[in-house]
Each structure stands twice: as structure tokens, then as C-alpha cells.
Amino acid sequence: MHYIIAEKGTVAKRIAAILSEGKAKDRKIGSVNAHEFDGKVVAGLSGHVFRLDFPTAYSNWSRVDPYKLIDAKIVAIALKKTIAKALEQIAKDADTVTIATDYDREGELIGVEALRIIKKTNPDVNVDRMRYSAITEKDIKDSFAARSEVDYNLAASAEVRGITDLIWGASLTRFVSLSANRLGEEFFSVGRVQSPTLALLVDKEKEIRKFVPRKYWELHVKLKTEKGDIFEVRHKTQKFWDEEEAEEIKSRIESAHDGCVCAVKTHLRTEKPPTPFDTTSFISAASSIGYTPKRAMNVAEGLYLQGLISYHRTDNTTYPDTLDLKALVTLFLDNADFGDYARLLLKKKQLKPTAGKKRTTDHPPIHPVSEASREKIEKPEWKIYELVVRRFLATLSDAAKWADTEVMMEIGGEILEAKGKELKEEGFLAVYPYQRKEEVKIPELQEGEKVQIEFIELVEKETKPPKRISQAGLIKKMADLGLGTKSTRHEIVGKLYERAYVQDNPAKPTEKAIALIDSLEKYATLITKPEMTQKLEQEMDEIKEGNRKKKDVADDSRDMLRAVFKEMTANKEEIAKSLKEAMKGGTIVGKCPECGADLFWMTSKRRKRFVGCSNFPTCSFSLPLPSSGRLIVTTETCDKHPSLFKLKIIKKGKGRSNTWDFGCPYCNFLRWKENSEKKEDDK
């Protein structure tokens, strides 16, 4: 029997339907759904077959020295016994096994995990690999006809990443958490990629806190032309740091009353179409229309599984020569949203796409592979699908052309400026409005033309602190620094939120995060810098290329970690003191309604959590808090108690996290008190 192993049940069903021309019969392999036709069976996994962990002897944080985890044995534990049993059953009558998981590092490893079970029972089974970038009839049939070998090096590079992340994450998290005596829900999570990523946010937050605003003045003027048109101008000095100087210039202009145009310059500017989407640029564009990185990737995965877009995890920004661009544009000729533009593109003699700097051979840039209409897709999916289609069409479009005009006027010996920009040719902006800028209209003026002052004022302003980094911006910084991969960056960012290190978007680190990074930057610098992670990522790429062995890179990683532990162990007391000092007050929840001092959430000696006043014992105001779940202090204040921030609590369920909007702790306490009194009255 010829078995085809897909990564998910939904993909298995689609592959079976395509290869069988819809004739596949449903069947079961144990409790796993499968689809049979013409001597072939397609079965789907549920992602990874195994998870990596330490033996149970290492599970007690308090009794096991974290350093011992560096060289501890690592075991592979089956995530679902039903999947493992189904693979054992497949092995018994398989002549050939075709791996049809996603073609990337994680997908290759998932396929190899399945093969390990199958080959244990049937070592002589024939094995090959389907490689596709879209779940369409053509891609699936072509990839099945041109099956290749399994890439064990690619799988090994993913496996080393899993081993490295487990060892680093577990050993460092335990060391830091035990040092600070913060266990349970309040543990300090530390990771190879997570910690340098968090350091980017904390360092930015420190910049913001250190920022001292500086006053400056702007001169705003409205002028009137001889034809009666009124338009705004600015002094050529955009910012005046000296108020006296600004007032003098204002007086000179005011006393002159009028002036004349001394120069008019207009030049044509070309705005090039955008390059094709790789994962990072896709996440950035999706962010601009309101999607967090995690949500954008989840929606994109759904569209990929439906066969509507190509594989959404890619570093490629150049379409391969084999991609039939004309055929893809033709898909949209009858589409209500894109049909008119598709027809315009097909009138061109040649479709010449834009190209970015990155060219890889695993997957093409993200692009549409099938046509769909807004009536057939749910709104969240449609917005992402529309974004992908419009980006694809934009990459085949002409540049936009602008007329930029700069006018200079002399009044009272001072030079005033006006700048206008007018869109002359829409080009790609006709189909890709996300990048469209507003036109700035100014009157048509000639040199020597008279202008009169209509209005003038001096506006006092202050310099603004640096902006926090958005989730999409953080992912771009991670990509630039080589932190994580296209497949994992959005997950790392998500973990920072889940672990109560970050809140809001743009990302604001919590006091817990700042305390952790402060301590690590002082006493364990290696963990917070990207260089170490960059080196390991490069070595993993060398495994993929066949130039390094899995064991050698894993050993290099362990050696790096030993160096980190040497530094941390030498500073263990300082780390403990630093973290305890920084966190002893807990996290600010607001101002005390009784005395006005800061309110903190903290933990008692009996491990009970509560909100307490920093003015204790003079002020004894306190509020109870739930005993479990990660607490996050939001920036939203309570309507009834505006001095208090609302809280969120993240609780972990089976395989997922649930966020509880706890709200105002004072309101919660008053409701509890009221309900308790009612119960007493009812007795």
C-alpha cells in the first residue's frame, strides 16, 4: 500500500480529493481519519508527533540544579498516542510512504518524526517527499508526479533548534526564577530568542523614561493670493529653539503685511510599486489594517489550507521564473473587486514584476493561487485575502507619478515655504490603496506674484519621546537582527504577552520585564544580546546545507550556555538581590483611593495575592486577587475608580491560554461583598 502523510487532517482530505479526482473513500486507521483510492491512502497528522522534554527525574525545580539540565538526556514524548499507533499500523502494510507535510524546517521534522515510527517497524519501506507551495490541483498533482527525497538535514536543523530552545529555556528560567524565589504562576521565563527580543522593548522603554521634553516654537502663517486663494506656509526654519528669536521674526513678517513669490520649483517623482510579500512584510502590511502578527498568520494559514493563497512562511521576495503570472492575473477577470484592474494589466505587452533583495528556492513570495469573492469568505479572512491579491497585482503594476511643488516667498526679509504634492498617475496605487498618501494642494503661483498675510501665529510645542515598537515593527527588528525565524517570530512575540512581560500594541514592557532585563543586562549580558542567537541560527543553516552535524551544533550551544551559567553563577547573589528589590513592591495597579499613594499587587508569605498600599502600615487599604493565572495590569482605567487600572488574567487550559478580563479589582471586591451580604440576608 502507498501511504501519503500530510501535516493535518484537512490537508490530507484535500490532497486525497485532488489526486483521486474526488473518488477517495473515507476510512479509519485506528482512530485517525484517512482517505483511500487506487491503492493509496492519505492520512493526516496533528502537527508534531513528538515533543522534546527531560526525563521526569528532572521535573522538580527546587531539587534539581538548573546547570545539570545542560547535559541532561532529552527524550521524545508522543504528543498523541492515537497518532503514534496509527503510524505503527501504517508501517505494517506500507510499501511506500510519501511525506506531504509543509515544506519548511518544522514540516520536514514532522515528516521525519512520522518516519521514525514507521521505519522502526518497517525499516525497508520506500520513502519519498512531495514539495508544494500551494494546495491547488496543479501544485498537488505536479508535486506528486515529481516526488523527491526527504531532506534529513533540513529536519535536523529544526530538531537542533528544539533541543537548544528546550535546554536554554528550561535551565535559565529555573536559575533566574529560583534565584528570585518566584515560582508557580510568577516565574521568570528566560529564553534564547525571547530574552534578546524582550531586551529590545525594555531598552526602548528606558529611552522613553529618560526622555526630557524640550520646548520649541513653530511659525504658522496663512497667505492670500491675488486671486483670493488662501494657503498655509511655514518659515524655512521648521523649529525655533529660542522664543525671542521666533518672536522677532514673527514681528518682522507681521509689519511687512505682504510679500512676493521668489521661487517656484516643480519636479516629477516616481513612487515604485511594492515588492512581493515575504512573511515579515506581510505581517507589517496586515498590521496596518488592524491584524496582530499572530492573528494575521492564523488567518493566512486558513487561506493556505483552503487553497486560496500560497504558503505563508517564506523569506522570498522574488517571484520564480516558473510562476505563470499571466495565468494568475487571468483568475480574476470575472471578479467583482479585481476584474477591471486585471483586464488593464493583461493589456500590457509584458508583465514585469518587482523584485526584492531576497531570493530563496523553498517557497515563492506569498501570492493568490485561486480566485474567491467577498461573498464566499468570512470578513476577517477576506481582508487578508484582499490584501494578498492587491499586493500581487501591485507588484505587476506601473509606478505612481507625483508632481512635487515647492514655493518660496519673501516677506519682511524672511523666507516662507509651501510644499504641495499632486498625484499625476495612479499606477499601482489604483489597486493598492494601503500605501496611498494624501495629496497636498497649493494654489498655482508664479515668480513675482504678490501675496498678503491673512493670519500668523507662533505655536509652542514640545519634543516627543521615542515611540514604542509595534508588534509588526518588533518582528521586523527580529528579522533584521537574525532573532528567530519566519515561522517562529510571531509566536515569540505572542509568548511575551502570555507571560505578562508585555501589554498593549505598541508593545509596552511590564515592570516584571524591566526588572528581569535590568538584572540580566548587568549580570548575564550574553542572554540579552542578539549575537549569540545569530551565531546559533547561522550554525543551524549550516546543518540545513549539509556543512555541520546536528550533534556538533547542539554541543556548541551547550558550550555557550555553560559560559552564560559561569557568568550568572558568579553573580547569583546580585541577580537575586536585583530581582527581589525590583519586584518587592509588585506591579503598580493605580493610586490608593484612601490616601493617594501607589497601589501594588503583591504576594503574601502564604502565597496569596492581593492589592496593597505602598503607605502600609499607615494605610491598610487592600483588595483580594484571584489565586491563579498570570496577572496583567492594563492601561485602561476604571470609570467608577479612575485612579485604578483594569486587570487581565491569563489562565492556561488544555493546550491553550484563556484571557479573563478581570476589570477593576475594587469593583470586583465591592460586587463580592454585596453578594456575600445578600447571601447572609437570605439565610
Residue with cell 493565572: 629
User: How many Å apart are CA 178 and CA 186, to the nearest integer?
Assistant: 11
Residue 455, classed as helix, strand or coil, is strand
Closest CA to 193 of 483, 543, 562, 486: 483
Is 390 in contact with 432 (CB distance < 8 Å)?
yes
For residue 239, give the nearest of 459, 37, 490 by alpha carbon. Answer: 459
DSSP labels for 115-155? HHHHHHH-TT-EEEE---SS-SHHHHHHHHHT-B---HHHH
* Calpha distance 649→647 (Å, rounded): 7
In which element (H, E) is residue 630 found?
A: strand 630-637
CA-closest candidate to residue 117, choices 92, 144, 100, 98? 92
Are 637 and 643 contacting, i.e. CB atoms less than 8 angstroms apart?
yes
Q: Give the torsion sign (CA, 85, 90, 93, 99).
A: negative
The closest alpha carbon to 641, from 621, 626, 627, belongs to 621
Find the helix or strand (DSSP H, E) in which 423 lies.
Answer: strand 414-425
The CA distance from 373 to 23, in Å, is: 27
- Position of cell 499572530? 294
Residues 556, 558, 563, 566, Cα dihedral to 10°: -160
CB 341 within 8 A of CB 306: no
Catalytic residue chosen out of the listed positions 311, 385, 497, 523: 311
Whether 311 sits among the annotated catalytic residues: the reply is yes
Q: DSSP characters for 237-290?
A: SS-BS-HHHHHHHHHHHHHH-EEEEEEEEEEEEEEPPPPPB-HHHHHHHHHHTT
Known catalytic residues?
311
